[in-house]
A = this chain, B = another copy of it.
Amino acid sequence: MTQDYLHRIRNQALRERVVTADQAAQLIQDGMVLGMSGFTRAGEAKAVPMALAERARSQPLKVTLMTGASLGNDLDKTLAEAGVLSRRLPFQSDPHLRKAINAGEVMFIDQHLSETVEQLRTRQLPPIDIAIIEAVAITENGGIVPTTSVGNSASFAILADKVIVEINTSQPEGLEGLHDIYIPTYRPSRGPIPVMAPESRIGTPYIPIPPEKIAAIVVTEKLDSSSTILDPDDETRAIASHLTEFLKNEVRQGRLTNRLQPLQAGIGTIANAVLHGLIDSPFHDLTMYSEVLQDSTFDLMDAGKMSFASGSSITLSAAKYREVLPRLAEFKQKLILRPQEISNHPEVVRRLGLICINTALEFDIYGNVNSTHIMGSQMMNGIGGSGDFARNAYLSVFVTKSIAKGGKISSVVPMVSHVDHNEHDVDILVTEQGLADLRGLAPRERARVIIANCVHPDWQPALQDYLDRALERGGHTPHVIEEALSWHDRLRRTGTMKPE
């Protein structure tokens, strides 16, 4: 290894703490609670967790792992396969870890992403022994400059007994200055979170911790994983188009201006496509106040549509990353990365009045949304930040394709098999079939609009039939209770929701 990293450790005394990943991993003992950087495959610590997985092959080693959100570089896979994870929170999106979670081998605590550090700070979760944080640099006073995500890194480092820093020489030094680290004051004397606009800077550009807490520094050069979003297709383009038309009408009605309100969009292909759809729209001077900044954020900026974006991480495709990297200084003027507690804070979400666009796995005829559980039992990824945003949004939008698995599954069902967002938190539903505006409607009215506008024609008669029979039974939210989950049961038994 070259000495190219030395200037990145600006606190001279700390240069003596540089060790190998294996040596750093020795600090970790069986049963410990680890807090690790990483949010939507961006900026996770990379070397130490790998060394930990390796160590676990030869000795019993189980830890609780907290992160910001999902990890890249197959870390959750590697750690799960090595059997290192006894508990994992607050989010994941790895197929192998998911399997272990659904088998009951890893206890997964699925949380609203703004809440994990609140519970840590009040000691309602077990305290963090060691934080492992990827950094661009360490400042003269021992401050940690994060890389492509902030996530929960700041609170993890502040609350942990010891901190291991991974200086990643592949992460451009130009990232310094992008971050805005603010930690709410402790109750009972907490003041307002002083974010008044997406561009508000309220904190420091580094994580302030006493340098003596940094127990080890490891140097790495591994890149972040690229995002896995797919290009827009006909359906996602149709979803984007329905939503754009709706927003244009809101402007015509005088409820919004052409600047809209600050946008939040969940991670993934559909939300990314929806944002892409705004490139060909009359809207301008848009801003984002979101968790993850994806390709679409930068495309909107390049199209002259977006003036500022605040997030907790940057997760790009490989091509977009290569394009953004040389222009980092330019983009940095228009970006802030914040702790996820702040990017997702209910106080700020409500104050700014966000338009929030999140993805549903399925929704029901009354507008309840399932974002997490397949057939009511099998965890997919986790609720993530969708609850932080949807509950407090100016406008809460959920998007999904109307069918899945080549038509074997209707994404609109009589009753969702798991509720992440109930009717009260869902204003607008969009599929490629159309858009349902549920604002101010009672459940019976919601059902009519949803069935008319959002359901795939193949499934419309069956849902209408269900609703008709439910209405005969009566109720504010009419159901044929013994049939309400029968579509999921049929899917479980036969591989399709279609009648036998």
Contact = CB atoms under 8 A, between A and B. Distances in A.
A32 interface: no
Contact of A353 (B87, B187, B477): B187
Contacts of A383: 424
Contacts of A189: 196
A379 interface: yes
Interface stretch (A68-76, A97-105, A402-410): A97-105
Contacts of A375: 475, 481
A104 B474 CA distance: 7
Contacts of A492: 481
Contact of A109 (B103, B347, B440, B489): B440
Contacts of A387: 391, 424
Contacts of A29: none
Interface residues on A, range: 35 or more
A119 B439 contact: yes
Interface in A470-487: 470-471, 473-479, 481-482, 484-486
A368 interface: yes
A459 to B, nearest CB: 19
A261 interface: yes
Max chain B C-beta neighbours (<10 A), residue from A108, A188, A373: A188
Nearest to A391: B391
B419 A368 contact: yes
A420 B119 CA distance: 22
A445 B107 contact: yes
Contacts of A109: 440-442
A126 interface: yes
Contacts of A478: 104, 377
Max chain B C-beta neighbours (<10 A), residue from A196, A424, A444: A424
A351 interface: yes
A391 to B, nearest CB: 6
Nearest to A189: B196
A141 interface: no
Contacts of A488: 481
Contacts of A55: none
Given A124-B440, A376-B484, A378-B475, 14 more contacts: A102-B474, A104-B444, A109-B441, A118-B394, A373-B477, A375-B475, A376-B475, A376-B477, A377-B473, A377-B481, A387-B424, A417-B481, A482-B486, A485-B485
9 contacts: A123-B255, A124-B255, A124-B439, A187-B353, A345-B350, A347-B350, A373-B477, A387-B424, A419-B419
Interface of A: 87, 89, 101-104, 107-112, 115, 118-119, 122-126, 187-194, 196-197, 253-255, 261, 345-347, 350-353, 368, 373, 375-379, 383, 387, 391-392, 394-395, 415, 417-420, 422-424, 427, 439-442, 444-445, 470-471, 473-479, 481-482, 484-486, 488-489, 492
In the complex, the 6 A-B pairs of residues with the closest C-beta atoms, listed nearest first:
A377-B475, A192-B192, A379-B476, A419-B419, A107-B442, A347-B347
